[in-house]
Amino acid sequence: MAKFNDPLAKLRKLSQDDPPKPKTPTRSRFETPLDGVSSSEIAKATQEKSMAGQYKRKTISLPPGQVRYIKQIAMQEGMGVLETYRWLIDMAIRHYEEGERPEIERRTEKLTARKSHWSSQV
């Protein structure tokens, strides 16, 4: 009888030879096959138009007073307006990671964060 060559034997041997890689801590709770792929590569592959260079476009609605105030901050600091938005978001994320949380106002239809900063009231 002819000897049968197992086509998957090499793959099994390779997986046994390599020790499992230690998991690196990530911010995400879940691992996905795209964890090692950059956002720009994903955008190219999916023909997504929401990438602007290295940045992903997102749209938010802000009160006019906040927009004026952020422009004023940008001018005072000598920064671009979009750079100022990104910096302010980075600062907000830092506060969140340090344990600061929004005050939640309970309503029957949904939860909303209380707007406590004076510029949010303008």
Contact at 8 Å (CB) between 26 and 35? yes
pLDDT at residue number 81: 95
Q: Which residues fall within 8 angstroms of residue 65, CB to CB, at 6 or more apart?
A: 119, 121, 122
Q: What's the total number of domains in the chain?
A: 1
Q: Is residue 115 part of a domain?
A: yes
Q: Is residue 112 part of a domain?
A: yes
| Angle between helices 64-77 and 81-97 in degrees, nearest 10 | 100
Q: How far apart are CA 118 and CA 65, in angstroms?
A: 10
Q: Is residue 82 part of a domain?
A: yes
Q: Which residue has the higher pLDDT, 45 or 86?
A: 86
| Residue 27 pLDDT greater than 80, yes or no | no
Confidence of residue 37 (pLDDT cuts 50, 70, 90): confident
Q: Is residue 33 part of a domain?
A: no
pLDDT at residue number 71: 96
Q: What is the CA radius of gyration of the chain?
A: 24
Q: Is residue 49 part of a domain?
A: no
Q: Is residue 100 part of a domain?
A: yes
Q: Is residue 72 part of a domain?
A: yes
At residue 122's C-alpha, the angle toward residues 102 and 115, to 5°, is 10
Containing structural domain, residue 72: 62-122
**For 99-121, how does the pLDDT look when each residue is reduced to its tens digit (9 = 90+)?**
998 888 777 766 667 666 655 55
Q: Which residues fall within 8 angstroms of residue 51, CB to CB, at 6 or more apart?
A: 39, 40, 43, 57
pLDDT at residue number 32: 74
Please give the structure tokens belonging to residue 47: 């023909």
Q: How far apart are CA 51 and CA 58, in angstroms?
A: 9
